[in-house]
Structure 1
Amino acid sequence: MKKSNKKSIPIVIIAVFLSILFLLPLVWMIFTSFKTLGESMSSTSILPKEWTLVNYTEMFTDASQAPIILWLFNTGIVTLIGTVLVVIVDILAAYALARLNVPGKKVILLLVVGALTIPGIVTLFPAFYLFKSVNLLDTFVPLIFPYTASTLGVFLIYNFLLSFPKELEEAAYLDGANQWDILMKVIFPTIKPVVMTLGVITFMNIYNDYLWPSLVVNSNEMRTITTGIASLIQGSNFVNPAKMMASTVIATIPAIIVFLYANKYFVKSVTNSGIK
């Protein structure tokens, strides 16, 4: 065996151990969702002794207390619209700062960088009272509007555009292309991995957000999936850990699908250090 292979053995062992450590809560959650009520409250074993699908069927058939389909629908609307808005606004803002003669560009860049240092929780209560003053609480507006832009996305795309060769844009101008054609047909295909990475990060942040929706939403019909599952803890279903885990499994599936689909773009955005 080569020395390089021998040196990699401890790293592989540590990686496997950490993978098992991080996957164990997920495995426990999945197996608990297939347990009966009594077993989920008393059994200490991971595998169920009696497998059942009743926790999943009740989540979809009995929607009086836990309308999980409605919660997923609300989350889908908020997440998709919010992610699309962030991507569009960030691309346009970064392109304007990198290529156009914007008045006060340096000041705007300083504000963007400065905004990255401000914790998001600082803006929660001012934003809450703003939406409350215009009577928009418990609607889709406060759930979507705060996600219309991301300073991190503007900063990432702006720095990527700084390394983009202007010669390609000048050649497109000579061929008769306008700025919109250059942005969509020349620049966007190159920055697509970065944009997809930004989109997935934004999707995950909006999808998993609990604190902000819990402040602006009160009715059961307007809850997102995170606040909906949290309401199960506060309600009568808390006595049923198996049903709680079933709802969590259902909520986890869309996020896992999106992440697995976009995983290749994460790799490309990290490994692509130049223009091919």
Structure 2
Amino acid sequence: MRRKQKNIIIVTLAVLIAILFLLPLVWMVFTSFKTLSESMSSSAILPKVWTLQNYVDIFSPTSDAPILLWVFNTAVITAVGTILVVVIDILAAYSLARLNVPGKNIIIGIIIMALTIPGIVTLFPAFYIFKSFNLLDTFIPLILPYTASTMGVFLIYNFLVSFPKDLEEAAYLDGASQMQILRHVIFPAIKPVAVTLGVITFMGIYNDYLWPSLVINSNEMKTLTLGIATLIQGSNFVNPAGMMAATMVATIPAIVVFLVANKYFVKSVTNSGIK
């Protein structure tokens, strides 16, 4: 009986905490459908008059905020950056775990030390490097720095170290090449870990504000996060409904990606606990 009561209390607390976390999201959704005057004067969550005008305004060709262009820029940067990180990290981790790489222990030690360095420390050196090559305000500085992901290499390397080599040895006996083994044996095994890394990388690139704010100046090259952040400096500063509509547009892709990849998070955690 006590155990049942304890479970009820835990579930109740979890629901209350979940509601607290969801309230800002609920407020954002409903505010995006309010009129300008109501969003500034009413504290009610539900709008008295529902309208889609805020979405019409932000997607209008005459709008000062080119949302569709920012969405395109963000899609290119996150897609290319995430793919590069996953591919590079898998190849690097596989090389360290399975191949006779000279100085392997030193490289692994450097990777571990790199994990302890705060990312903000590298911002200004990276900025001046891209500036010296006249690459500011382009896609290159928005993509290239993310590919130096030591966390992904370390994560996949640790998984491969504990992964049995029997299947690989059997594939070698059947005449499979190194790349065939990597593609048909290793990748299916590390797929949950790779997808988890991909989602973490996607979220990191998608939500990043500080680095794009340093390397991007023109309105046409802004990412969605940077573009929406600059809206508060313009006329939309006094338009909460318009701001929430723009924020909704930025939030939906992240939610969709997380929901689609959620099962791989569970598999990754489960696999990491089974030895």
Q: Report the TM-score, using the length of structure 1 for normalisation.
A: 0.97
Unaligned runs of 5+ in 1: none
* Alpha-carbon contact 1:172-1:182 (below 8 Å) kept: yes
SS at match of 1:165: coil
Structure 1 equivalent of residue 244 of structure 2? 245
**Deviation for aligned residue 1:148:** 1.5
Structure 2 equivalent of residue 61 of structure 1? 60
Change (3 A) 1:274 1:32: closer
Structure 2 equivalent of residue 109 of structure 1? 108
**Deviation for aligned residue 1:273:** 3.8
Structure 2 equivalent of residue 137 of structure 1? 136
- How far apart, CA to CA, are the structure 2 residues paired with 1:29 and 1:96? 46
**Deviation for aligned residue 1:93:** 0.3
Structure 2 equivalent of residue 95 of structure 1? 94
SS at match of 1:156: helix
- How far apart, CA to CA, are the structure 2 residues paired with 1:274 and 1:70? 43
1:201-257, Cα deviation, whole Å (9 max, x unpaired):
000000000000111001010000011001111111211110000000011001100
- Backbone CA RMSD of aligned residues: 1.3
* Alpha-carbon contact 1:59-1:66 (below 8 Å) kept: yes
- How far apart, CA to CA, are the structure 2 residues paired with 1:181 and 1:3? 56
- How far apart, CA to CA, are the structure 1 residues paired with 2:3 and 2:84? 47
Task: State the AA in 2 paired with 1:154.
Answer: V
Structure 2 equivalent of residue 232 of structure 1? 231
1:29-54, Cα deviation, whole Å (9 max, x unpaired):
11111111111111111111111110
Matched, 1:121 2:130: no
**Deviation for aligned residue 1:63:** 4.3
SS at match of 2:65: coil
SS at match of 2:40: helix
1:173-201, Cα deviation, whole Å (9 max, x unpaired):
00000111111101110110000000000
Change (3 A) 1:48 1:271: same
Alignment of 1:11-26 (within 5 A): 11-26=10-25
- How far apart, CA to CA, are the structure 1 residues paired with 2:250 and 2:93? 33
- How far apart, CA to CA, are the structure 1 residues paired with 2:43 and 2:169? 67
- How far apart, CA to CA, are the structure 1 residues paired with 2:180 and 2:274? 19
* Alpha-carbon contact 1:75-1:207 (below 8 Å) kept: yes
Structure 2 equivalent of residue 147 of structure 1? 146
Change (3 A) 1:274 1:185: farther
Task: State the AA in 2 paired with 1:196.
Answer: V
- How far apart, CA to CA, are the structure 1 residues paired with 2:273 and 2:14? 30
Structure 2 equivalent of residue 209 of structure 1? 208
Unaligned runs of 5+ in 2: none
- How far apart, CA to CA, are the structure 1 residues paired with 2:2 and 2:73? 55
Matched, 1:159 2:153: no
* Alpha-carbon contact 1:197-1:269 (below 8 Å) kept: yes
1:62-118, Cα deviation, whole Å (9 max, x unpaired):
443111000000000000000000000000000000011111111100110011111
Structure 1 equivalent of residue 31 of structure 2? 32
Task: State the AA in 2 paired with 1:142.
Answer: P
* Alpha-carbon contact 1:66-1:232 (below 8 Å) kept: yes
Q: What is the count of residue pairs matched by the alignment?
A: 275
